[in-house]
Structure 1
Amino acid sequence: MRRIRVLFLALLTGIAAPAVAQSSDSSQPIRIQADSATLDDRKNVAIYTGNVIITQGSMRLTGARVTLTLDNAGEVQKLVSNGSPATFRQTPAGGKQVDARAQTIEYHADTERVVLIQNAFLEQAGNTFQGQRVNYDIQRQVVDAGRAIAEEGDSAERIEIVIQPRKRTEPVSNDDET
């Protein structure tokens, strides 16, 4: 019974999480589906395993294992999804849908930032970014692609970016700057 109560509390505290996507998303409940859950009240950590699907409004995060960390106030601080691959999808307010995948996806709620690690791939409006590490700032809709820190003598792979041509009749807008 205590485990069910703790799970319920963890879900309730997630409702007040900062916006992950559209401004209305933050007012939506966080829904977590998984095969199993382990909750640690002392460490403010919940670990969900087995085909995990987390949704909140337009945001969807999936993985084989997701670790949810709360801060001392009970707010979602960080979600870390591991998978083969883990996936992330959201539609920013007034923007175009973002689809991403990587072996590890970190969502940092306090800075509204998504970090894709290892075999990282992000697509928005036909533009793609891939490499070993891709950072996505949700509020500013800014992508920073690069590789993980290479050790001496490491021949880490370079990033690859594909930018779709803009139609000549299409006006330039802030939504197109990714």
Structure 2
Amino acid sequence: MRCVNSLLALTLLAGCATHALALPSDSSQPIRIQADSATLDDKRNTAVYTGNVIITQGSMRLTGGRVTLSTNANGELNTMVTYGSPATYQQTPEANKAPVKARAQTIEYHADRETIVLIQEAFLEQSGNTFQGDYVSYDIPRQVVDAGRGSESANGGQNGGGGRIEIVIQPRSRSNDSSNEEPATP
């Protein structure tokens, strides 16, 4: 029974991973995990889900071939790592806003830093703006994207793959600026 309770606790923590990017109601929604198999290691405080893994909670959807969750001794989420071809992430940050969408071969969530790291073939889209390269990091509370400078710990000593990044930034809507313009004279 302890194993089942621990697995349930790790499963519930999966939803904590992305609450900062979420609609306010997401954290109160049930977490649903679908996978071909699940393994729990109580001594190491980890749970591994494999085989077409789909994790949903409210507007959040995370997919991959393998998802590993690790917790600290208090049962709080440390990291969630998703592997796929590609792994995907999507979540709506606010009502009436487009969802944040991401994909990469590996997606890491670091709870202590509230950071999502996309490694290898990384792509992030937010409000029509896109960021892609071998490494893209998103600092959730600061809403800062860092592309192209992979950390050694995040990708096994590689320096972000050495490739160039591509960023596409959409023009701001001028409809809000029209109130500052002087009216046209007839």
* TM-score normalised to structure 2 length: 0.79
2:183 equivalent in structure 1? none
The structural deviation recorded for 1:5 is 4.3
- Indicate if the aligned counterparts of 1:147 and 1:157 stay in contact, CA closer than 8 A: no
Q: Work out the CA distance in 2 between the residues paired with 1:11 and 1:83.
A: 19
Q: Work out the CA distance in 1 between the residues paired with 2:42 and 2:52.
A: 23
- Indicate if the aligned counterparts of 1:147 and 1:159 stay in contact, CA closer than 8 A: no
1:169 equivalent in structure 2? 175
Q: Deviations over 1:32-60 (max 9, x none)?
A: 11000110011000010000011222211
- Indicate if the aligned counterparts of 2:10 and 2:69 stay in contact, CA closer than 8 A: no
Equivalent pairs, count: 170
Q: CA RMSD in A?
A: 2.7
2:80 equivalent in structure 1? 79
* Percent of paired sites with the same residue: 63
Rg: which structure is higher? 2
Q: Work out the CA distance in 1 between the residues paired with 2:100 and 2:38.
A: 28
Q: Work out the CA distance in 1 between the residues paired with 2:86 and 2:99.
A: 19
1:119 pairs with 2:121: yes
- Indicate if the aligned counterparts of 2:114 and 2:139 stay in contact, CA closer than 8 A: yes
- Indicate if the aligned counterparts of 2:101 and 2:126 stay in contact, CA closer than 8 A: yes
1:62 pairs with 2:57: no
2:163 equivalent in structure 1? 157
The structural deviation recorded for 1:25 is 2.3
> What are the residue-to-residue correspondences of 1:1-178 with 2, within 5 Å?
3-14=3-14, 19-20=19-20, 21-93=22-94, 95-148=97-150, 156-170=162-176
Closer, same or farther: CA 91–139 of 1 in aligned 2, 3 Å:
farther
Q: Work out the CA distance in 1 between the residues paired with 2:118 and 2:64.
A: 13
